[in-house]
Amino acid sequence: MADEFMFTLTGTDGAARTGEIRMPRGVIRTPAFMPVGTAGTVKAMYPDQVKVLGADVVLGNTYHLMLRPGAERVARLGGLHAFMNWPYPILTDSGGFQVMSLAGLRKIEESGVTFQSHIDGSRHVLTPERSIEIQGLLGSDIQMQLDECVKLPASEEVVAKAMHLSLRWAERCRIAFGEQPGKAMFGIVQGGDVPHLRVESARELVGLDLKGYGIGGLAVGEPQHVMLSMIESVEPHLPREKPRYLMGVGTPDDIVEAVRRGVDMFDCVMPTRAGRHGMAYTRAGRLNLKNARYAEDLSPLDPESTCPASNGYSRAYLHHLVRANEILAMMLLTWNNLAYYQDLMAGLRKAIREERLEDFIAQTKEGWEKGERERKAG
């Protein structure tokens, strides 16, 4: 394994890229989907299952872990890797998105954010420096700057104010992070749905010479075409030799389209959350196992998948588990969904290396559309 953080491109196809992030704890193959382990666990999954599916890195959440069990406690217990039995790379977000979503429970100032815990109402202060300190105590390998994320739609004035505050916080985070061999801190491009603000944010962050760059503040209420146009605005201004991370995104279609536009990393709660609510992602699109049409359907979720949850149980059985509110339903559907997401990423990486990405995307979307036509007809 590499002693330093290194990103190497191994193939391109148009704007799309495939490559490797090498770190002391392992190699992250890109494009990469990072399962979300909010509170130190990918919900309804064992850590070894997550790894076997093809995940090279998981995401931990600064906000939730600082509140429970506490960053200092995690540090005393050996750090997040040992705590959750995941010896591979971990990326932690800064806590900014969760804090900003608290609306009536927080106050934003130049120094940072004061907020009340959603758990017990206790008061906390999260500054750029404290966010980096917490992520360091957790022992994460890739740390994100604290930023202000604005829910869209919003006025250009509101978006600009948040973007400039995020830039100032990025500089403070960079200083607080300092030099940590083998680890990385990423900045976050903000600017809402205003192209010139996105470009300004990207250019200023690149001037800080960070190890990677997140694209934040998207998938927060805007249509897909707006999200994609913001990626297109930003991509030419981000260094080719550094990874790009579209934060909190998203659906399989969102991921495919963002990869097409040069994005390298993704995270989203969607596959795990959907699995807990009776939804399955497959090569034939998304299936709602609550639907009575599956009550006597003996076919598996996805016969082409190598995942036992996808090919080893009938849709009828899964429908029964969902309707009976059995825990096994959540486990199997989450397992299936993460398998599908990781298979999708592996397919994208292979297609980019072989310079046949457009064919792969067309075949993938045809599978979704064919499945949807059959469900409507049936």
Q: What is the Cα–Cα distance from 302 to 283, expressed in whole angstroms?
A: 7
Task: Give the start-end residues of each E strand in the chain.
Answer: 6-13, 16-23, 26-30, 32-34, 58-61, 90-93, 106-108, 113-116, 123-126, 142-144, 184-189, 212-215, 244-246, 265-267, 279-282, 285-288
Residue for token pair 């330093």: 4
CA 111 to chain centre: 27
Give the bridge partners for 368, in sequence order.
Answer: none
Give the angle subtended at the CA of 40 by the CAs of 340 and 119, to the nearest 5°: 115
95 in a labelled binding site: yes
216 in a labelled binding site: no
Q: What is the Cα–Cα distance from 317 to 314, expressed in whole angstroms?
A: 5
Answer yes or no: 267 catalytic. yes
Contact by Cβ (8 Å): 278, 45: no
Answer yes or no: 209 catalytic. no
Contact by Cβ (8 Å): 290, 320: no
Give the angle subtended at the CA of 81 by the CAs of 77 and 83, to the nearest 5°: 40
Q: What is the 3-state secondary structure (H, E, C) of 138-181?
A: HCCCEEECCCCCCCCCCCHHHHHHHHHHHHHHHHHHHHHHCCCC
217 in a labelled binding site: yes
Query: What residue spans of 54-143 are helical by DSSP H?
Result: 62-67, 71-76, 80-83, 96-100, 128-138
Q: What is the Cα–Cα distance from 134 to 62, expressed in whole angstroms?
A: 7
314 in a labelled binding site: no
Q: What is the Cα–Cα distance from 308 to 296, expressed in whole angstroms?
A: 20
The catalytic residue among 93, 297, 302, 343 is 93
221 in a labelled binding site: no
- The secondary structure element, H or E, covering residue 346 is helix 327-353
94 in a labelled binding site: yes
The catalytic residue among 141, 193, 254, 267 is 267
116 in a labelled binding site: no
Omega cis (within 30) before 250:
yes
Binding residues: 93-97, 147, 190, 217
**Residues forming the active site:** 93, 267
Binding residues for substrate: 93-97, 147, 190, 217
